[in-house]
Amino acid sequence: MYRAYDDMRRDLLFNAEGMSRVLVRTLVPAILHDDVWQVYEVIQSAYPAAGADTTLASELIMVLDAAGNTYVANQPKRFPMLSDPALGGPEFALLKRAALQHQEETPAVVDLDLAEYLYLVMPIVSDRVRLGSLVLGFPRSLFLPRFLTIAKRAAWMTLLSLAVLLPITWYWAGRMARPMIQLADCMARLGTTTPEHMRCDLYESQDEIGRLGLSFRRMLAELQEKHALERQIVVADRLGAIGRLTSSIAHEINNPLGGMLNAIDTFKRHGNCEDERTHRTMSLLERGLLQIRDTVAALLVEAKAGSHTLKPVDIEDIHTLVAPEAAKKSARIEWHNELRMPIDLPATPVRQTLINLLLNAVHAVEENGLVRCRVWARDGRLHMQIINDGRHIPADKIEHLFEPFSPLSETGHGLGLWVCYQIVQQLGGDIQVHSEPGSTVFTVVLRYGENE
């Protein structure tokens, strides 16, 4: 805007300088002959006629004599002949002083603060004798229309540029800032949320931000794997400690338990059992102790290798054994036995594991539920997968699922999964469970042969 104003001022002064030179050459003969009317006609001819463009025209034209008094003016009522211009006010007093002080034959610009006009002063000289001065006054209001036009045009150009650039800038700023915000949000949640529960939808590209997001996802995946391994180790250690504790307790219980059962048996053989009440009491004690012995025996799990080698028919027998239990709930079993050859694994513990898992799945489903069982061997490993559509098992409950007397068991003593876990561990295998609404999956992997 300042440059536009400066350009307008320069154009105005350039045109004024050209006009002042022409007027001075025309005015010299008339002044020498003291022809006032001719001087007046000359300055009047310089003022545009009605209807002409007055954008760059001077509104005030004055001819001052050598003493600085008014010789002729295009506003004779305001500046009469031979009058002192200073009578027009302080502005014209300063103008008169500037005109008298200017001795060069070139035009001079007189720009007074708060003045009504912008003045151009041109000395009138003939044969190096100063005859007077020509004063052209241009009202400052001339600048306003052009200035407003330029300002309006600049405002429209600015608005047009903003209308084009703002959406583009908004798009690129969002594209640059959104990935950083997402990454910062994920990094903030990393300290308050466990890695396995974090889901980060990060920007993917080959630029620096995309590579940073890729590195963060890789780090998050490693943390999730590390956290999962730590949890597995903790669960395995806890189950191992529970197994050792229960085994010790079971052995300590078995010793006096065997003595009590032997004492009852001896009493029944050689004692006086003719009393009905004594007989019923001893029978009740015997049944209670036998139940304790069976429970303790379930805790003492031992996968003995003396069993015969696992064959495909051993797996098929399990389907036959479990089918009646599933029929009680009208549950359907999808059976996929893909074994075609015997496998170097003890049949009895493997069969016990599969039976326990299938019965657990049948008990978990609702009426008319579905249980899927698939058994296959590949790369020196036996895989058994049991899927049921029963109730979802929460993640915090899964960690305690394989503990003895699990509270999740609705029937029995809650030792079935405990027995499965102990057998799988003794066979050097792995058992995993994954549960989500509508699907709970138990997977057992047992190594055999050279990989065992």
**Least confident residue range of 76-90, 136-150, 352-366:** 136-150
Q: Which residue has the higher pLDDT, 82 or 3?
A: 82
- Please report, rounded to a whole number, the percentage of residues in the chain having pLDDT higher than 70: 79
- 335, 319 Cβ separation under 8 angstroms: yes
What local confidence, expressed as pLDDT, does residue 64 receive? Answer: 92
- 61, 47 Cβ separation under 8 angstroms: yes
- 220, 190 Cβ separation under 8 angstroms: yes
For 362, the enclosing helix (H) or strand (E) is helix 347-364
What local confidence, expressed as pLDDT, does residue 47 receive? Answer: 63
pLDDT over 90 (residue 381): yes
- 73, 49 Cβ separation under 8 angstroms: no
Contacts of 234 (CB under 8 A, 6+ apart): none
Could you please state the CATH topology (level 3) that the domain comprising 309-451 is classified under.
Answer: Heat Shock Protein 90 (3.30.565)
pLDDT in tens, 154-199: 888 888 988 888 888 888 777 777 777 777 777 777 766 666 666 7
pLDDT over 90 (residue 142): no
365 — pLDDT class (breaks 50, 70, 90)? very high
**Cα end-to-end distance, the chain, whole Å:** 87
pLDDT in tens, 11-53: 777 888 888 888 888 888 988 888 889 988 888 887 654 444 4
What local confidence, expressed as pLDDT, does residue 389 receive? Answer: 92
Check: pTM over 0.75? Answer yes or no: no
Q: Which residue has the higher pLDDT, 219 or 415?
A: 219
**48 by DSSP, 3-state: which?**
coil
Integer-rounded Cα radius of gyration of the chain: 55
CATH class of 2-143: alpha beta
Domain ranges of the chain: 2-143, 230-299, 309-451
371 — pLDDT class (breaks 50, 70, 90)? very high
For 243, the enclosing helix (H) or strand (E) is helix 208-270
Q: How many CB atoms lie within 10 A of CB 442?
A: 25
**Least confident residue range of 102-116, 160-174, 270-284:** 270-284
pLDDT in tens, 280-308: 777 778 777 776 776 666 555 554 545 67
What local confidence, expressed as pLDDT, does residue 452 receive? Answer: 46
What local confidence, expressed as pLDDT, does residue 374 receive? Answer: 95
Q: Which two tokens stand for residue 353?
A: 């594991």
Mean pLDDT over 359-383 rounds to 93
Q: How many CB atoms lie within 10 A of CB 115?
A: 18
Separation between Cα atoms, residue 379 and residue 198, nearest integer Å: 34
